[in-house]
């Protein structure tokens, strides 16, 4: 968290970028600057304000007889912000008060968003880790072919569902990423009627329910092929329909902020537009594009409705996504929670834990791929050029 302090030093020089009267017309020595670390004074001010707000709210709730943890926390935050604002205003001025309140608000908002996420993941780990890690690695390699109503937890596993999830998400990503990047590049570089129509279609697809994608692929692919229509590839098509607008919109925003001077310099050097896009625009926005792919994978990795219509589920291993019904982690969880018996619910928690691990692994791999800066080359163009010259010679 950043803090703001005043540089009011007797006889000290004004900041380099301020004029005789500072930016706001006041003395240059009084202009606040931002520091990168929390000092002991700022920590004491925040801690004291938090304790004072807690005491005030506790007394008010005790006297009035009001109960409710959620209301208590909300009132405490309001009292904390109010006391802290008055304290900063009296000690550091209006500018420092605004800056500290904005910084504190950002941190509180981030914590409010992070706490439910950590709670959900922690709840899954508590209930599913003991099931998945019992007799490790049996649960990760076995399938559900030995499942019965009285079967113990150690007799089944999520191996077939892991294979199905990785293949379906992988095929959907292979289909979506090139289409999404090309569409995003076109929307950024062109402003015409067709681009506006495409942009509206992308927005409409973004808000479409997941079951619509499953019904679309079911009617277009499964019904004409009848019994042979349900497969992992059909599930990948449904997931790709859901992933495409997310990747396209996120990639469009990332590509749009690439400086236009880089593209103009590439074109001025005689590079064709496709090469400037491939070797200048996309490498510059590499980290943002990887984030767009991660958002798309996060959107489809836990979907159940599209897979339920077109994959069918399979208790046995099916390594071929193009033939036969295939299992999937979200689909397996959905099927197990409706089975009778406590062991089925425990199996569902174990599969949920495996799903969290698979998604986190995909995220880490994507981050490692996009970790290198734009100056580093994933494709050794100079080596390819030397090889082609040697062949021509």
Burial class of 223 by CB neighbour count within 10 A (0 to 12, 13 to 18, 19+): exposed
- The per-residue pLDDT for 330 is 92
DSSP 3-state of 331: helix
- pLDDT tens sequence across 15-36: 444 444 444 444 444 555 665 6
Q: pLDDT tier at 372 (50, 70, 90 boundaries)?
A: low
Report field, pTM of the whole predicted structure over 0.95: no
- The per-residue pLDDT for 16 is 45
Q: Are 216 and 287 in contact (CB under 8 A)?
A: no
- The per-residue pLDDT for 34 is 61
Lowest mean pLDDT among 5-14, 186-195, 321-330, 362-371: 5-14
- The per-residue pLDDT for 262 is 85
Kindly state the percentage of the chain with pLDDT values over 70.
Answer: 85
- pLDDT tens sequence across 66-104: 888 889 999 999 999 999 999 999 998 999 899 999 989
Lowest mean pLDDT among 133-142, 181-190, 371-380: 371-380
DSSP 3-state of 116: helix
- The per-residue pLDDT for 129 is 92
Does residue 180 or residue 10 have the better pLDDT?
A: 180
Q: What is the mean pLDDT of residues 196-223?
A: 89
- The per-residue pLDDT for 352 is 93
DSSP 3-state of 43: helix
- The per-residue pLDDT for 12 is 43
Q: Which fold has domain 140-392?
A: MetI-like fold (1.10.3720)
Mean pLDDT (the chain, rounded): 83
- The per-residue pLDDT for 14 is 46
- The per-residue pLDDT for 255 is 92
Residue 10 has pLDDT above 60, yes or no: no
Q: Whose CA is closest to 331, among 351, 316, 358?
A: 351
- The per-residue pLDDT for 4 is 43
Q: Where are the domains of the chain?
A: 3-113, 140-392
- The per-residue pLDDT for 383 is 57
- pLDDT tens sequence across 220-279: 988 888 778 899 999 999 999 999 999 999 999 999 988 888 888 888 888 888 888 888
Collect all residues with Cβ–Cβ distance below 8 Å to 281 and sequence separation of at least 6. Answer: 185, 255, 258, 262, 263
- The per-residue pLDDT for 3 is 45
Q: Are 231 and 311 in contact (CB under 8 A)?
A: yes
Q: Are 166 and 327 in contact (CB under 8 A)?
A: no
């Amino acid at each position: 968290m950043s803090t703001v302090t005043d540089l009011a030093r007797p006889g000290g020089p004004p900041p380099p970028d301020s004029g005789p009267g500072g930016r706001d017309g006041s003395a240059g020595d009084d202009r606040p600057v931002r520091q990168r670390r929390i000092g002991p004074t700022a920590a004491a001010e925040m801690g004291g304000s938090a304790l004072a707000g807690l005491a005030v709210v506790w007394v008010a709730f005790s006297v009035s007889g009001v109960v409710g943890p959620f209301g208590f926390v909300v009132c405490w935050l309001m009292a904390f912000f109010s006391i802290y604002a008055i304290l900063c205003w009296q000690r550091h001025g209006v500018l420092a008060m605004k800056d500290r309140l904005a910084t504190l608000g950002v941190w509180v908002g981030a914590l409010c968003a992070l706490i439910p996420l950590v709670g959900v993941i922690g709840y899954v780990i508590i209930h599913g880790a003991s099931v998945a890690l019992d007799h490790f690695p049996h649960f990760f390699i076995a399938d559900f072919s030995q499942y019965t109503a009285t079967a113990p937890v150690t007799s089944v596993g999520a191996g077939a569902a892991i294979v199905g999830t990785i293949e379906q998400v992988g095929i959907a990503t292979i289909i979506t990423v090139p289409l999404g990047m090309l569409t995003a590049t076109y929307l950024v570089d062109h402003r015409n009627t067709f681009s506006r129509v495409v942009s509206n279609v992308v927005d409409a697809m973004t808000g479409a329910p997941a079951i619509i994608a499953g019904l679309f692929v079911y009617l277009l692919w499964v019904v004409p092929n009848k019994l042979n229509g349900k497969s992992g590839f059909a599930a990948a098509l449904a997931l790709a329909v859901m992933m495409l607008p997310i990747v396209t919109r996120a990639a469009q925003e990332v590509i749009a902020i690439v400086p236009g001077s880089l593209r103009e310099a590439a074109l001025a050097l005689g590079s064709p537009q496709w090469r400037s896009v491939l070797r200048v625009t996309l490498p510059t926005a590499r980290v943002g594009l990887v984030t767009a792919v991660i958002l798309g994978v996060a959107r489809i990795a836990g979907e159940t409705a599209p897979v339920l219509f077109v994959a069918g589920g399979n208790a046995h291993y099916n390594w071929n996504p193009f033939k036969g019904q295939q299992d999937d982690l979200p689909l397996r969880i959905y099927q197990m929670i409706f089975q009778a018996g406590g062991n089925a619910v425990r199996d569902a928690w174990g599969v949920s834990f495996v799903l969290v691990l698979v998604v986190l692994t995909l995220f880490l791999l994507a981050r490692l791929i996009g970790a290198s800066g734009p100056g580093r080359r994933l494709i050794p163009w100079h080596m390819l050029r030397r090889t082609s010259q040697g062949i021509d010679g």
